[in-house]
Structure 1
């Protein structure tokens, strides 16, 4: 497999803090928070919360379901990118712990990660030089 890397110049912009409500999807809500703030591109800088159940993508395209009642997110990283059609797409990866203390990691599947009680997230806007 070829090693492809993209180097992009730009600068950091505004910072936004958001709270995601119960039963809202983690990935889709991060996209909505960016839209509400007018961020075309952003990085996740911090997060705290749990999911009812978590769904992480496997390399074969299947989904690893981590059952709750509260799957705790230990770490979350990712970015949101503007698409050519103007929509936003979040790519979020994290580490999740289930009620038995078992640890899982991988990319979160959009539409399959409902927030348990609340979820706080910090986003930092990215302003690519090509868009300045």
Structure 2
């Protein structure tokens, strides 16, 4: 078997629901939704909303930009991990669809994905057995 595999022991904690307002960046908003109740590690388990424009990193050094208004986030998966300073850092991946039918997918670029009308989130807290100091967590 090739590649890197890591298993992490832990348990599910709280579920946090958040509403992101217009003109807030999606990545930064997920971090704020987690930071307020003190969720340091978690997974995005549900979402619904649209962005004014959307920008995703395709993983090959290029970015896909889809212009709105109202670019739909068709699917969103994300993880939040505590940085060395104790603040949550979000990594979000998803599929986007513009009003003209243009689609894209990849990692949402911080600062380039402003919420259009509203964005709803459900985030599940992850309580790592080692207290969140697992290998691979962002530094």
Q: Deviations over 1:53-90 (max 9, x none)?
A: 00000223332111001100111011100012212210
The structure that is helix-richer by fraction is 1
Aligned residues: 131
Once superposed, which parts of structure 1, at least 4 consecutive aligned residues long, lie more than 3 Å away?
Answer: none
Q: Deviations over 1:78-128 (max 9, x none)?
A: 110001221221010011111122321111011110000000000010000
The equivalent of 2:97 in structure 1 is 97
Residue pair 2:66, 2:103 contacting (<8 A) in 1 also: no
The equivalent of 1:31 in structure 2 is 31
Residue pair 2:13, 2:124 contacting (<8 A) in 1 also: yes
The equivalent of 1:64 in structure 2 is 64
- Distance in 1 (alpha carbons) for counterparts of 2:123 and 2:60: 30
RMSD between aligned alpha carbons? 1.3
The equivalent of 1:20 in structure 2 is 20
Shift of 1:14: 0.4
Q: State the SS of the aligned residue for 2:29.
A: helix
Q: State the SS of the aligned residue for 2:130.
A: helix
**TM-score (normalised: structure 1):** 0.94
The equivalent of 2:77 in structure 1 is 77
